[in-house]
Structure 1
Amino acid sequence: MHNLQTESDRVGNGVWDNPGLSIFATSAQEPVPNLLTQLKPMPNGENDCVSDKDVCRMFTQSSVAEATLYRQVKHQVEEVAAVLNSHLHPGQRQEQTDVDVTLALAKELARQQVEASRCLQLHRNVENLRDLEMEVARAHTALAVKNKITLNIKQTVEDKQRERAEALAEQRAVEKELREEKQRRVQKAAIFRRDLMAQITEGRTKRIQDHQKSVAEGRLELKECRDIVEQEGLKDAITKAEQRRVLLASLDQSAAMLKQTREAYALAQKNKPERGLLDALGPVTAAYVSKAQKRRLQEIEARDINAARLGFQLSQIKHDLESRDQLITSLLIREQKAKENALALEQARTKMAKKQEIREQLLSQREEQKFFRDKAVKDALVMPKDPMCFGERQYRMQVAQRENTRRLDVQCYQDMAHMVVEAKNHRKAAAQEVADIIQEVYNVQNRQDELVAIERMKVLSKQPPEVLSALKKSILTEEEISSLNLKK
């Protein structure tokens, strides 16, 4: 603390010029607040230097020596400002440090915000980054699905093992129950066989006795049935013989009746004439002929009526066609007349416009001729009397005209050359501007490609190895594959 200068000592330092202000304002002086208020003006009346203040008045730069002096003084001012900045009060130093830290923090926050905005724009607008993010998301999804499938498989295996153990336990219990049940069934079967054999033996004995009894009864019934059948057969034979006799008698009677019928029919047809083919045609009478003639007359009248009706229809159709043709012809004639009238009207309007234009041109020519006549009269009135001859005046006029023409030609050639040079320079400038624009576009594209590559590496570096291995190698570049040590 004892090495620091006091406020009064620091105020005395400075450089003065004629207006009383410092002529060197450097960046090293900025931390000192209100530096101009701390400078002191030189005493009035002093022209060269002030010995007690160790300063000199500075004038306008006019030589190399003065420029060197100005540079030396500027360097000294910067050194003085550096010394002042290095001997600040603790409060001022803390304040300056806080300001520097705040400015640096604000600058860093602004840079981070710009960087975040630029990264966001790149991620939104660059298709390469969007494709990479989509591929990374797909890889994450595939990895999650794979992990889920693996977990499901593991869970399924565990469930199956547990179910298998439970099934084995249940199967052992069932087998044990089956063995016990089998033993019980064997015991029951043995008991049942014993009982069944006893029942079978008893039933067989009973069936043999019943069979013998039924055989005896059957033999007795068979004998009785045979007797009954013999009696019925005898009765049937007697009945059939009687029926045969009755049928033979009826057949003889039918044959006799048929013979009598034939003889009676032959006797009845003996005296009748034979019927011919012409008898089947029938007689041709007057009524039949009159009906045929009447029918023919009706057909003729019907044909006449149809012919008249068709002729009337044809005449009506012909009349309609003629009327239509006449109407179309009249319409075409009217349309042609309308076109001719419109064309004639247009020609008349064009002719009238041309006449009006010619009239205006004639009027303007007459006015122009009148103007030049009046001008010639005025020029003749004010023209000074020249004693030279007419030939001399014509010669001088021709010489003046040639000089004027030559001067105009030279000026025109100069203007054309100037225009050519300007056009050439303009084309060169335009070409250079286009080349600069193209180069700038290339530079911007290269910078954007570099930023995109950096962002891609950032995105890829954040991913775990499983996701990187799941990515498609076609979407990665050679540098990314080599940087991430991925297999092709």
Structure 2
Amino acid sequence: RRRLEPARIQYGAWDDPRVSLFATVPQEPIGDMLSRLKRLPETKHSREKTIDACPLVLATSPSTNRLYREVKYQVQQIADDRNRNYHPIQARERQSAIIAHMMAEHNRHEFAEAMRRQQLHTNSQRLRDLKTEIDRAKTTLSVVKRRNDNANMRGFEREQERKEAIADREQVRQEKLAEERAMQLKAHTYSEQLVQQIRKLQADREQQQLTDREEGRQKRQNDELAHAMDLQHAIEWRHKKRIELKQMLDEYSALKRSLRDANPDEPDKLDVIVMEAMGPVTASFLRQELQRRVDDIERRRLISDDLGEQLSEMRNKKDAHDSMLADILVCERQAREKKRAHQDIQKRRNQKLQVAADLINQRKEQKFYQEKDALLTKITRDSTSFMERQYQQAASRDAASHAMNKASYDAIASDIVNNVRLRAAAVEEERMIKQALQDMEMEMERRVDEERMRVLHSQSRDIIDEVRPCKLSHVERETFGLPA
């Protein structure tokens, strides 16, 4: 391996002091480094005579600093261009390091994201509820699957049992068919013998029936002839009796007509007897009915009179009570009005007396002050008098007190303004804090919604269909096409 691999290139600072000033560790010595530098702008004085490489760092002029920055930038660009051309082994190592760094960064990002999601699941009640609902859906699906598997297993077992039962039934059927064939053969032989016997018996029976039928026909003819003779005799007898009855009725009618012609004015005794027998009964019944009706009318009249008297008495009592209540109400209203009028009169009188007393007192006070002012105008003021000195001292004290009060009022006003500003700042700070908290809550809600969508997308369609729609938001239901 040592023979195959070339020597590694070591990058280091240069020994030339005019170049090592700008060199860095990852740079490789290049012989024509200065030839690769860009030419500086020309000036009137010579830089080679006035500026050396060593005192360049110590120079503090703006032009020297600018020169240093330009040269340093160019040297760094050349070093960067040179460092892009790596050795193949170093390029592979560099790529491996970059890939490892990217993988580590990706793993770190995934780990941080996983921890963040775990923290979200720990802190968010909605995510915990969703996890509980998904677990419930998974449990339900597992129970349903187990139940279906058990049902399928039972169905398979029943199918096997049914097939076995069908096979047993088929075997039994074949055995029964064999037995039936044997029985049919035996029955066929027996039936042929039986048919022959039956035919013989039928022939004998038909012969006997013909004989019996002929005898019955002859007997029926004899009976019909006898019945016809009896019927004819009965008809003749009835006709004879009808003729005799008609003759008797005609004779009775002729006799009755002859009697009526002989006595035309004599009433029928039978009708007279019936009328005489029914007359007293009918008259008594009519008298009783009329008396009952008269009694009912009298009783109703008495009842109506009593009710009318009671109703009239009640109406009179009610009218008297209403009139008494009306009189009482009128009296009470008049009393209240009189009392209110008396109170109003007394109140106005008291007001007038108070106004008169106030006017009298005001006039007395005005008169007092007028007399006092008149007396004060008559007094001569002396600056050396005790009262004048007292007055001046009191005036100076009042002025000092006024100045102190004004200063305190100004301080209070400034404090009020400052307090208002502080309160406004506190309110603004509180508003900003609330806004920040609201933004944090909104961001948290957004992350929770995204995590819920990620969790739902990671589940199968069966589990999503099993989740109750009331546990999902409107957007989630629309996303997965679930009913509201």
TM-score (structure 1 length as normaliser): 0.46
Which structure has more relative contact order (CA 8 Å, sep 6+)? It is: 2
